[in-house]
């Protein structure tokens, strides 16, 4: 039997930059998805989950049961790409909030891939998971599966795939607060934003993550110019955030997060009224240095950096979680 686990993540800063070959600063967190898998001589994989009743029967060629739960399509894509030598029975459990922007689907893909026997370098396995999500209409970047595999707080340069571990100052507390607005990324304008970024990059002749502000001023279409401006300035903010954390300057780190949210809401139009209201309320709370939406957007969670204990139970009834850098994915056999 194999037991595989993979964490969720919160992105401190750098959203919609990974698929533009820019910079991001995501952090693996304590929420995780686990998959226990017992191999057999069967020609199919039988999976069940604690999220929904029922089972999914998947052929080794990756054909799912058409009457199974919706997550079966993603599981089938993983089976097809991993190509296990034999079938078996698996059980999936998770503590990652679904639809909250904390990379529940990436944790699912990574854990299931490892449980099925995938043994690839992190970058290659992250691409496999990315490809699996694309088959169900979620054209995600590499950030989520990569940080799930490697763990910690990572400064990632997606133009070179170089990573650098960053330390959270001991005086800081990172808190994830749920807006209460759940969403499935494939049902949001996320794909449209990717297409807009592709069009802006085509107009420039280079990836947005490698462009300059002077260059994007030449983009004629005002919508594409705003999308590009977010990506270029967000990459600058990722660098500034990493420097601020290294200097234990929480006020500077908070200011960068505030600028990031404004850019995501105005230039990228990836926020919502509910998320904006939550960010504003957090910024009005004593001891909070900065807050911003996190993840693909259009709902989900907000991440805040603050003094320890700033978000107490008296003033805050919303679902929230203090988080710390967590370990990357792992697999064991028994």
Active-site residues, by number, are 144
Nearest-CA neighbor of 26 among 103, 99, 112? Answer: 103
Nearest-CA neighbor of 126 among 167, 78, 164, 165? Answer: 78
- CA 148 – CA 328 distance, rounded (Å): 5
Tokens representing residue 52 in the block: 């929904």
Beta-strand (E) ranges in the chain? 2-13, 23-39, 44-49, 55-59, 88-94, 154-157, 162-165, 172-181, 288-293, 300-307, 320-323, 330-333
Degrees, nearest 5: CA angle 95-297-100: 15
Whole-number Cα distances in Å, 10 to 26, 135, 167: 6, 24, 15
Residue 171 φ then ψ, to 5°: -80, -10
- CA 79 – CA 99 distance, rounded (Å): 23
List the end-to-end C-alpha distance of the chain, in Å, as a whole number: 5
Angle between the N-to-C axes of helices 104-115 and 122-135, in degrees from 0 to 180, rounded to the nearest 10:
120
- CA 189 – CA 39 distance, rounded (Å): 39
């Amino acid at each position: 039997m194999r037991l595989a686990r993979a964490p969720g993540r919160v992105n401190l800063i750098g959203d919609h930059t990974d698929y533009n070959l820019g910079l991001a600063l995501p952090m693996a967190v304590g929420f995780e998805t686990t998959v226990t898998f017992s191999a057999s001589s069967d020609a199919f994989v039988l999976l069940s989950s604690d999220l929904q009743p029922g089972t999914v029967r998947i052929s080794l060629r990756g054909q799912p049961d058409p009457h199974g739960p919706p997550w079966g399509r993603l599981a089938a894509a993983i089976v097809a790409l991993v190509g296990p030598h034999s079938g078996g029975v698996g059980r999936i459990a998770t503590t990652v909030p679904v639809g909250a922007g904390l990379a529940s689907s990436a944790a699912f893909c990574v854990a299931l891939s490892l449980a099925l026997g995938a043994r690839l370098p992190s970058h290659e396995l992250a691409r496999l998971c990315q490809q699996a999500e694309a088959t169900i209409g979620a054209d995600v970047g590499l950030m989520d599966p990569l940080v799930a595999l490697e763990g910690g707080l990572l400064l990632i340069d997606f133009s070179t795939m170089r990573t650098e571990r960053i330390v959270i100052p001991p005086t800081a507390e990172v808190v994830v607060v749920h807006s209460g607005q759940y969403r499935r990324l494939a049902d949001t304008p996320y794909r449209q934003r990717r297409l807009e970024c592709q069009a802006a990059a085509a107009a420039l002749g280079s990836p947005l993550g490698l462009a300059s502000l002077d260059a994007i001023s030449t983009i004629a279409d005002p919508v594409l110019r705003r999308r590009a401006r977010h990506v270029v300035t967000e990459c600058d903010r990722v660098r500034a955030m990493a420097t601020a954390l290294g200097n234990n300057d929480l006020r500077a780190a908070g200011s960068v997060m505030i600028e990031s949210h404004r850019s995501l809401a105005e230039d990228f139009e990836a926020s919502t009224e509910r998320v904006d209201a939550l960010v504003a309320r957090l910024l009005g709370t004593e001891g909070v240095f900065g807050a911003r939406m996190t993840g693909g957007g259009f709902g989900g969670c907000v991440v805040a950096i603050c003094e320890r204990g700033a978000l107490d139970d008296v003033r805050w009834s919303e679902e929230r979680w203090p988080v710390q850098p967590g370990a990357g994915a792992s697999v064991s056999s028994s």
